[in-house]
């Protein structure tokens, strides 16, 4: 029987910042017009979808044999810790919880959100599932930028205030860049094994050296977006609190970190996303006083 610890590890908690951060930022930009209940529902939607896509990825890669002998986090199917059916069921339960929360959120704000929620679920399942999973065709980063950047941040903001602003659009670009950085790091770690198993990620397509450059560009981009927000308020300079960690992680990637060292860098990148999101959230709340 699969232990609770194995199920938690299989949910890949180090990647969950990609779901949490945009909800925090979208809510903060809504300022004092934000609803606590809408925040909670959006949080459940984001977390449910992230856990769901992680389990769905585990299931789909596991039955294809892609996850055999991996370095990264627990693969429930690939390691034999859980049956494919059990992992598939866990993925559907997580997405079902996200769907229920999404319907309640749409009922409280706008039914337009249902369309984006449905697209998010389809994207989560077809990332590595179905006859032509787009994650096997170097499109994972595009999807992550759209759904864990634009859709998650703008959708949360829209659920609170019913509109979109230029400032929150820039913030959604930053969230998308950081979420992509997590995926790029994950794919860099698995580059050789993905290549051997026929999984054509963007990292496989462009190679090790270019993947490292891409990661550095993605992790520095949010700090550049801050420069565009400074005319709105100098409080956004608070986001530079993430710079020391960005420099450290970037230096490790540039110096050629591989294997298990990338697992630690993956965790640190997730922390950078949380630090950055909290900093710009504080900045926008200070500005809105």
What is the rounded distance in angstroms from the CA atom of residue 45 to the CA atom of residue 239? 26
Q: Which candidate, 193, 218, 71, 196, places its Cα nearest to that of 142?
A: 218
Q: Is 130 helix (H, G, I), strand (E, B) or coil?
A: coil
What is the rounded distance in angstroms from the CA atom of residue 220 to the CA atom of residue 208? 19
Q: What average pLDDT does this structure show over 209-218? A: 98
Residue 71 has pLDDT above 70, yes or no: no
Which residue's structure tokens are 């859980």?
A: 82
Query: What is the b/e burial string over 137-152, where b = at least 16 CB atoms within 10 angstroms of the residue's CB?
Result: ebbbbebbbbbbbbbb
Residue 289 has pLDDT above 80, yes or no: no
Local confidence band at 72 (pLDDT 50, 70, 90 cut-offs): low
What is the rounded distance in angstroms from the CA atom of residue 232 to the CA atom of residue 170? 12
| Helix, strand and coil in the chain, % to nearest 5 | 80, 0, 20
pLDDT digits (tens, 9 = 90+) for 16-52: 999 999 999 999 999 988 999 999 999 999 999 999 9
pLDDT at residue number 70: 61
Q: Which residues contact 193 (CB under 8 A, 6 or more apart)?
A: 66, 69, 70, 71
pLDDT at residue number 185: 94
Q: How many CA atoms lie within 13 Å of 128's alpha carbon, on the beta-carbon side? A: 23
Structure-block tokens of residue 69 = 């002998």
Q: Answer for the pair 45, 22: CB distance below 8 angstroms, yes or no.
A: no
Local confidence band at 68 (pLDDT 50, 70, 90 cut-offs): low
Neighbouring C-beta atoms of residue 125, cutoff 10 Å: 20
What is the rounded distance in angstroms from the CA atom of residue 129 to the CA atom of residue 119? 15
Neighbouring C-beta atoms of residue 216, cutoff 10 Å: 18
**Position with higher pLDDT, 276 vs 78:** 276
pLDDT at residue number 32: 86
DSSP E strands: which ranges in 141-270? Answer: none
Of the chain, the percentage scoring pLDDT greater than 90 comes to 81
Local confidence band at 173 (pLDDT 50, 70, 90 cut-offs): very high
Q: Which candidate, 217, 218, 224, places its Cα nearest to that of 240?
A: 224
Name all domains of the chain by residue range, CATH numbers in brackets.
4-288 (1.10.600)
Structure pTM? 0.93
Q: What average pLDDT does this structure show over 71-86? A: 85
DSSP E strands: which ranges in the chain? Answer: none
Q: Which candidate, 143, 155, 152, 133, places its Cα nearest to that of 59?
A: 133
Structure-block tokens of residue 273 = 């996303």
Local confidence band at 260 (pLDDT 50, 70, 90 cut-offs): confident
């Amino acid at each position: 029987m699969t232990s609770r610890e194995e199920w938690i590890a299989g949910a890949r908690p180090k990647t969950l910042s990609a779901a949490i951060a945009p909800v925090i930022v979208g809510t903060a930009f809504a300022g004092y017009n934000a609803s606590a209940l809408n925040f909670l529902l959006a949080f459940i939607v984001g977390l449910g979808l992230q856990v769901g896509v992680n389990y769905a990825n585990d299931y789909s890669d596991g039955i294809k044999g892609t996850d055999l002998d991996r370095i990264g986090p627990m693969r429930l199917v690939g390691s034999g810790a859980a049956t494919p059916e059990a992992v598939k069921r866990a993925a559907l339960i997580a997405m079902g919880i996200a769907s229920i929360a999404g319907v309640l959120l749409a009922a409280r704000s706008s039914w337009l959100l249902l369309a984006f929620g449905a697209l998010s679920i389809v994207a989560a399942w077809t990332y590595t599932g179905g006859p032509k999973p787009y994650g096997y065709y170097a499109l994972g980063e595009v999807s992550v930028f759209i759904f864990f950047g634009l859709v998650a941040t703008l959708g949360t903001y829209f659920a609170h205030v019913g509109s979109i602003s230029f400032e929150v659009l820039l913030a959604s670009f930053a969230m998308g860049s950081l979420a992509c950085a997590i995926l790029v790091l994950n794919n860099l770690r698995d580059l050789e094994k993905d290549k051997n198993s026929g999984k054509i990620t963007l990292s496989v397509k462009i190679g090790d050296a270019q993947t490292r450059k891409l990661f550095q560009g993605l992790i520095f981009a949010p700090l550049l977006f801050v420069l565009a927000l400074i005319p709105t308020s100098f409080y956004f300079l608070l986001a530079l609190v993430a710079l020391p960690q960005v420099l450290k992680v970037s230096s490790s990637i540039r110096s050629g970190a591989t294997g298990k060292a990338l697992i630690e860098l993956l965790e640190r990148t997730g922390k950078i996303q949380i630090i950055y999101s909290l900093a710009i959230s504080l900045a926008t709340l200070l500005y809105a006083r």
